[in-house]
Amino acid sequence: NLSDNQVDAITSRLQRWEEKKVQVPVKNDPENDEGYIEWSLKPTFAGQALRVQDIMILRIIKDAGWKVPIYFAVTVSQSNRIGLDSYLDMQGLTFQLKSHKTSPVDQSMMYKNLMTQIGPDDWSTDFTMPGFNSPIDEEYKNWSRGYLPGYMFRNLGNNEIYYNDQVIRLLQNYRSAYMQLAVTYYMDYQKEKRKKSPDEYALIDLSEKAVSVLDQMRFNIPESTIPITSEDLHYQVARLYGDLNRKDSMKDILDELISMGGLSPSNKVEYANVYFRELDDTEMAINILSDLQNEYIKMENMVKIKGFSKGSISTARWNRWQKAFPDIVSSLVYIYKSTDQYLEAEDVLV
C-alpha cells in the first residue's frame, strides 16, 4: 500500500524506539479472547531505534489485517522476527504468523509439506528438464494453480553436481526443518512412554512417524553429497534412530562419524561406549579406546621430550587429552571386565 516515495521516506531514517508492548487488533478468532496479539518489542538498532526492516514488518502486519497469511522463511534469524515467536508456528520451510499464541511446530502442516513426495524418486539423483512438464502425463501433479503441499528436492543426491560450502551451509536449514519435526514426534513419544499406562498404538505411531521423517530427510538431502556440517547434529540423528530401535541406521551414522578426522577424544569415548552398550559391537569399542590410549601415550612422551614447542603439540590440545584420559581408561577397563577379559583389563592399568 506504500508508494515508492513513502518507502524512500521510511528507509531514509531510523525511528527512535524504547522497549514497549505492541498490540495488533484481532477479529473473529475463537482462539483469541483478548481481541489482539501483544508482544514486547525491543530496540533493534544500537539499543535506541528500530531498523527499517522491522518497521516494514510492523506495517505489513497492520496492512494485512489478517486477511492474507504472513510468513517468515526459516532462514530468517530469531533476532529478525521482532519478538513474535509466541505467535509463529513452523510449517516446513516457513513460519506462519498466527492471530493467537501457538505451539512452535504445526505437526500436521509440517508433515504434509515435508513428507509429500513430488516427482519420481530418481529426481534426487538424476533430474533433467526434458519431460519435466510432459503433456502426455494425465496425472501430472508437479504444477498447480492452487496450493499443494510438498517441496521439490532435485539433484541433491547427484554426485556429478558440485555444491560449494555456502550452498551446503544453506541446505542445513532444510535439514533443520526435518530434525525439528522428528524431535517433536520423539518428545511426544517419550512423554507417552513415561505414562503409567502408555498407549501402545500411540507409541508405535509416534515412533514410526519420527523414523519416517528422518529417513525422508536422508533421502531428500543425502549426506554423501550434502554433508551434515555439525558433528553434534549428526550424532543427534544417530541417537534418535537408536532410541527408536533403528540400530542399523544408528550404526551407519556412527561408522561415518568415527571415520571423520578432527574428532575430540571425549566424543570418541562416547561413541565407543555407544558401540558397546547399544550396538553390542565390543570389538569396535575396544579398537577405538585402545587407539585413543596409544595416541595419548605417544603425546605424553612427546611432551616429556619436546615440551610444548613448535614441533610438539599445543597446550590446549594436551589439556583436552588429559581431561579425556580417565574416561578412556575407565571405559576400556569396564568393557574388558564386562566381557571377562580380566588380563587385558589389568594391562590397561599398568
Tell me the DSSP string of 319-345.
HHHHHHHHHHHHHHHHHHHHTT-HHHH
pLDDT value of residue 320: 94
d(C-alpha 262, C-alpha 202), whole Å? 41
How far apart CA 289 and CA 144 sit, in angstroms, is: 56
Residue 323 CA to residue 296 CA, distance in Å, equals 11
pLDDT in the model for residue 46: 79
Tell me how far the alpha carbon of residue 340 is from its chain's centroid. 40
Q: What is the DSSP letter of 117?
A: B
Backbone torsions φ then ψ of 151, nearest 5 degrees? -130, 155
pLDDT digits (tens, 9 = 90+) for 188-216: 999 999 999 999 999 999 999 999 999 99
Low-confidence ranges of the chain (pLDDT < 70): 1-2, 7-14, 131, 133-143
Question: How many C-beta neighbours within 10 Å does residue 315 have?
Answer: 11
Tell me how far apart the alpha carbons of residues 207 and 198 are, in angstroms, rounded to a whole number: 13
What is residue 304's predicted lDDT score, i.e. its pLDDT? 86
- Tell me the pairing of strands 36-41 and 20-25: antiparallel
Neighbours of 24 (CB within 10 A): 18
Q: Cβ(75)–Cβ(95) under 8 Å?
A: no
Report the C-alpha gap between 253 and 258 in whole angstroms. Answer: 9
**Can you say whether the dihedral through the CA atoms of 108, 110, 113, 117 is positive or negative?**
negative
Asked if 190 and 245 count as a contact pair (C-beta separation under 8 A), the reply is: no
Pure H helices in the chain: 4-11, 52-64, 107-115, 123-126, 165-193, 200-220, 231-243, 247-258, 265-277, 282-306, 315-338, 342-349
Q: Sign of the C-alpha dihedral, residues 121, 126, 127, 133?
A: negative
Q: Map residue 35 onto helix, strand or coil.
A: coil
Q: What is the Cα–Cα distance from 341 to 273, expressed in whole angstroms?
A: 17
pLDDT for the residue numbered 33: 92
Distance CA 208, CA 273 (A): 26
pLDDT of 139:
60
Residues with Cβ < 8 Å from 181, sequence gap 6 or more? Answer: 105, 107, 110, 111, 114, 213
- Residue 324 has what pLDDT? 96
Q: Which pLDDT belongs to residue 117?
A: 86
Residue recorded with cell 536449514: 173
Residues 6+ apart with CB under 8 A from 174: 93, 220, 221
| pLDDT at 290 (0 to 100) | 96
Name residue, grid cell 568393557: 335
